[in-house]
Structures are given as structure tokens and as C-alpha cells.
């Protein structure tokens, strides 16, 4: 009986592994180069909207001294923007410029990237797995979440959302 259960468990593991969505992996979107330098200074003139908000500014200033952890030359900075709200900005270690993320926050459990085993971004890849949350309906604590795959386009110097999941309910008890 023990052998039968072991064989069934092994078969299920193989079946699930073969069905894993591998369209979006870090290896498919390599960074062209990886910088080893640390962020020296944030260029606040690149985003006047963020520069005027002291709480956000304080969070982003915390990235000074850190080395790139995404797309070869960005430090990922996530900050609070109100009760239950998060937002993300990318700081270029080469010039300190700020780039607003196209989605709210990096997501280690992205529905589109089960093959990435709980990692949202890597230093040597232009892919980052992100999520957005919105209230389900007025007065409800529950949220609707969308997961997405975002790529840094080095030539165009912009982020591109290449895939987005259907919204799914997140119960907030």
C-alpha cells in the first residue's frame, strides 16, 4: 500500500511539474548587462510628483547604497501610499532616475509565474512579476487582485506589461 501511495504521489508531482507555466521565466528575458555599483544618489528632478511627498521620499532614499536587484541596473523600492496601499518605483543605479512601476507591487506568488518559485525579480533579468489590488466593492474589505508580467525595455527606456491575469478575489478577514 505504501508503494502504491508513493507511486501516485510521484505521478501527481510529475504531472503538475509538466503543466507548470514556463512562458514567463527570468531566463527568457536576460538583462544586457549587470552593474556592480551601488546607488549613490536619487535624482528627484526625474519625478517631481514623488519628490514632494516626504513619506515616499524617505522610503526611496533608503535605497541609496544598495546595488541593483533588477534588470541589471535598478533597485526596486516599494513604499506605502495609504492604508492597505503599496506602490513601487525603480531607481536606476547609473543615474539615480526614478521610474514608476506599471503595477502596484512585486509579487512572489504571481499566478503567471509558478515556475519562478516565489521570486518576484532578479538582478540579471528584465522580467518582474507584479500585482495590483483594488477593492472588490464599496464597503467591503475584500480585494480583487490581478497578477502581471512586466518587462524593462532597455532600448525604449520604459516598462511594458506583457501579460495580465484575470482578476481574482482575495478575502481580507
**One digit per residue, pLDDT tens: the chain, 173 residues?**
444 333 333 333 433 343 445 788 899 999 999 999 999 999 999 998 888 888 888 889 999 999 999 999 999 999 987 766 789 999 999 999 999 999 999 988 766 666 667 789 999 999 999 999 888 888 888 999 999 999 999 999 999 999 998 999 999 87
3-state secondary structure of 61: helix
Q: Tell me how far CA of residue 23 lies from CA of 19, 66, 129, 130, 165, in angstroms.
A: 11, 30, 13, 16, 13
Of 62, 85, 56, whose CA–CA distance to 75 is shortest? 62
- Structure confidence at residue 10 (pLDDT): 37
Question: If DSSP codes are grouped into helix, strand and coil, which group holds residue 79?
Answer: strand
Per-residue pLDDT, 49: 87
**pLDDT (0 to 100) of residue 111:** 66
Strand, helix or coil at 114? helix
Instruction: Write down the pLDDT at residue 172.
Output: 86
Q: Which of 91, 79, 74, 85 is nearest to 53 (CA)?
A: 79
Residue with C-alpha cell 512572489? 108
Q: Would you say the C-alpha torsion 151, 91, 118, 82 has a positive or negative sign?
A: negative
Residues contacting residue 82 through CB under 8 Å, at least 6 positions apart = none
**Nearest CA among 62, 164, 31 for reference residue 104:** 164
Taking each continuous run of H as one helix and of E as one strand, the counts in the chain are 3, 8
Amino acid at each position: 500500500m505504501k508503494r502504491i501511495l508513493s507511486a501516485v504521489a510521484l505521478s501527481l508531482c510529475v504531472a503538475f511539474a509538466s503543466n507548470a507555466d514556463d512562458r514567463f521565466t527570468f531566463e527568457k528575458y536576460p538583462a544586457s548587462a549587470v552593474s556592480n555599483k551601488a546607488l549613490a544618489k536619487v535624482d528627484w528632478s526625474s519625478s517631481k510628483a514623488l519628490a514632494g511627498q516626504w513619506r515616499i521620499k524617505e522610503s526611496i532614499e533608503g535605497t541609496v547604497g544598495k546595488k541593483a536587484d533588477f534588470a541589471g541596473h535598478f533597485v526596486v523600492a516599494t513604499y506605502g501610499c495609504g492604508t492597505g496601499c503599496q506602490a513601487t518605483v525603480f531607481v536606476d543605479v547609473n543615474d539615480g532616475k526614478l521610474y514608476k512601476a506599471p503595477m502596484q507591487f512585486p509579487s512572489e506568488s504571481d499566478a503567471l509565474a509558478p515556475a519562478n518559485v516565489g521570486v518576484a525579480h532578479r538582478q540579471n533579468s528584465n522580467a518582474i512579476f507584479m500585482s495590483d489590488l483594488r477593492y472588490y466593492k464599496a464597503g467591503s474589505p475584500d480585494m480583487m487582485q490581478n497578477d502581471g508580467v512586466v518587462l524593462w525595455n532597455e532600448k525604449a527606456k520604459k516598462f511594458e506589461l506583457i501579460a495580465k491575469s484575470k482578476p481574482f478575489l482575495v478575502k481580507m478577514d
